[in-house]
Amino acid sequence: MKKVLLVLSVALANLVWAQFSTGTVNLSTGMTVKINTNPTTVTMTLTGPDTSYLGVGFGGTGISGGMGAGVDGFIYNSNSTSNSNLDYSFAGFMMPPVDAVQDWTMTSNTTSGGIRTIVATRSLAGGAGDTVFTNTNSSINIFFAKGSSTSLAYHGPGTSNRGYAVLTRGVLVTGEAVAESKKVVLYPNPAKEVVRFKNADKIKSLDIYESTGRKVRSLELTGDTITVSDLKSGSYYLEITLKDGSLTYEKLIKE
């Protein structure tokens, strides 16, 4: 009996600390979305044309149902910064107003080959009026859209610029979960003054290179931030040495 209870306890503990993911889902608009959850936070990775605004709404049972008044959504647009003009509440087919309280934080915003990749995170519960995410294998209903530019405006008719999907989730296997927990993320990106690091405790040191390959700085990280105000505007690459001896690379855009 004790052995059975021990096995059940271990199984329940693993379930409590499990992480879940939709994996990367290709959407009909040329966008992709991935939603990961852990016991405290939800992280969304969204890609699409870098000339478009990119929006995702949560809930509903289709375009009409999903865009009902008060439905929660995330929209990257020309007014977005790392923690503003990202969180919206839909109002039917009217232009959605920005939420008074912003709960999403954009930890990364990069472009390559005409494709923008956005990584944003918030707590599972969010704030008032926000979708409450669960850290389970339950499905997530979304609707999505892109615009003809990064300025927030009507996306236009047709299915090439908007759609609806049901995202199914599975448990992140041990290797994937470990990799996710160790991943170093820098934000805000682009940055003006200061860059912060998620999982800074994993970092031993870092080197900053210009896009030409010239090293401009070497740092021993003592906290979770570095100052970049003295860097010229442009693109830089960070070679990050982790405490386990491995290397990882991140692109930084200095405004």
pLDDT in tens, 74-93: 999 999 998 899 999 877 66
Q: Domain limits at 166? A: 15-171
pLDDT at 97 over 80: yes
Model confidence, pTM: 0.68
Indicate if 135 and 218 belong to the same structural domain.
no
3-state helix, strand, coil in the chain (%, to 5): 10, 45, 45
Of the pLDDT bands very low, low, confident and very high (cuts 50, 70, 90), residue 155 is confident
Q: 189 and 166, same structural domain?
A: no
Per-residue confidence at 179, pLDDT binned at 50, 70, 90? low
Each residue's pLDDT tens digit, 103-152: 999 988 999 889 999 999 998 988 888 899 999 999 999 989 999 999 99
The reply to whether 110 and 191 lie within a common domain is no
Collect all residues with Cβ–Cβ distance below 8 Å to 131 and sequence separation of at least 6.
58, 59, 72
Residue 49 and residue 127 share a domain: yes
Q: Pick the residue with more confidence: 247 or 178?
A: 247
Distance of alpha carbon 42 from alpha carbon 74, whole angstroms: 13
Q: Is residue 206 classed exposed, middle or buried when 0-12, 13-18 and 19+ CB atoms within 10 A define those classes?
A: buried
188 shares a domain with 137: no
CA distance 187 to 196: 5
